[in-house]
Amino acid sequence: MNGNLHTQEYWNQLRDGNTDALSALYQLHYIGLINYGVKLTGDRDLANDCFTAVLLDLWEKRHTLPEVANVRAYLITCQHRRIMHEIASGKKRQERHLAVPDGQGPEWSHEDYLTAIEGNDAFTQAFSQAFRRLTQRQQQLLRMKFFEDLDYDHIALTCGITKRTAYNIIHDALKQLKNELKGHVQQSGLPLEALISAALLLILQ
């Protein structure tokens, strides 16, 4: 989601000892890093704690940090190591750990994860069905763009398509999802007032 240049700038400021940069990196990479942890553990609170620990660790080492060309990739590597460490040291907080559904590999699929956190209500089912009716390519790009929070440059490069094509595929997929979910959407989700007061709380805190 973030222009690489911004995150690069914040990285350099982190090395200079600016605490604003620490918060900036947290907010810019929040979705990508949390969901990376979710993929490995199915536990987003654990993912958040690990991401926090990663940033604190980088802060400790700020005077010896290298210049980094791809900040996101660097953070992902740190996050991976951190989570593996948590799991290996047995502190993986079983009580909060969501059970991996039967027949699953070691990684969580986006869909199973959503079902686990949102419950199996009518809207979740409708969403899953609509999502599964998309082509493999569409599903893959939606996941990369919104769940992994990758930018179009990265997606285009990974998939061997142009940015324009990536953009169009995502746009069409969203349009299809929207049309298939018409009539379902209104009954679900928090009312907007709740959303806004939550957002206000965030600003005021």
Partner 1 sequence: MNYLRHKAEDLVMDESFQQFCTGTNPVAVRFWEQWLAAHPEKRELVQAARVIYLRLNGGLDAETFAGHHRRFTDALLAEGIRPGMQAPQLRPVTRGNGWKWYALAVAATLTGLVLTMMWIQAGKDAPPAGTAIGETAMYASKPGERKAFQLPDGTKVVLNAASTLRLDDGFQQGKRTLTLEGEAFFDIAQDASSPFVIHTEDMDITVLGTAFNVKAYKDDETVETSLIRGRVRIDTRAGHQVYLRPKEKLVIARNKEIQDIQPLTPRQADTKKAGRHYLIDSLTHIPHDSAIVELSWVDNRLIFADDTFGDIARKLERWYGVQIRFESEELRGYRFTGHFNKETLQRVLEVLQLSRGFRFRFEGDHTVVLQQ
- Tell me how far, at minimum, the Cβ of 16 lies from partner 1, in Å: 8
Q: What is the 3-state secondary structure (H, E, C) of the chain?
A: CCCHHHHHHHHHHHHCCCHHHHHHHHHHHHHHHHHHHHHHHCCHHHHHHHHHHHHHHHHHCHHHCCCCCCHHHHHHHHHHHHHHHHHHCCCCCHHHCCCCCCCCCCCCCHHHHHHHHHCCCHHHHHHHHHHHCCCHHHHHHHHHHHHCCCCHHHHHHHHCCCHHHHHHHHHHHHHHHHHHHCCCHHHCCCCHHHHHHHHHHHHHC
Q: How far is the CB of 107 from partner 1 (least distance, A)?
A: 13
Half-sphere exposure of 44 (CA within 13 A, CB side): 12
CB of 116 to partner 1, least distance (A): 10
Alpha carbon 105 to its chain's center:
20
Is 1 a binding residue for partner 1 by CB under 8 A? The answer is yes
Our finding on whether 165 is near partner 1 (CB under 8 A) is no
Q: Does 162 bind partner 1 (CB under 8 A)?
A: no
Pick the binder of partner 1 from 112, 147, 156, 159 (CB under 8 A): 147
Residue 159 CA, distance from chain mean position = 19
Q: Binding to partner 1 by residue 199, rule CB under 8 A? A: yes
Would you give the binding string for partner 1 spanning residues 89-118, x where CB under 8 A is met? Answer: ---------------------x--xx--xx
- Interface with partner 1: number of residues (CB under 8 A): 68
Span near partner 1 by CB under 8 A; candidates 69-77, 87-95, 98-106, 186-194? 186-194
List residues near partner 1 by CB under 8 A. Answer: 1, 3-6, 9-10, 13, 18-24, 26-28, 30-31, 34-35, 38, 44-45, 48-49, 51-53, 55-56, 59, 110, 113-114, 117-118, 123, 127, 142-143, 145-147, 149, 167, 170-171, 174-175, 177-178, 181, 185-186, 188-190, 192, 195-196, 198-199, 201-203, 205
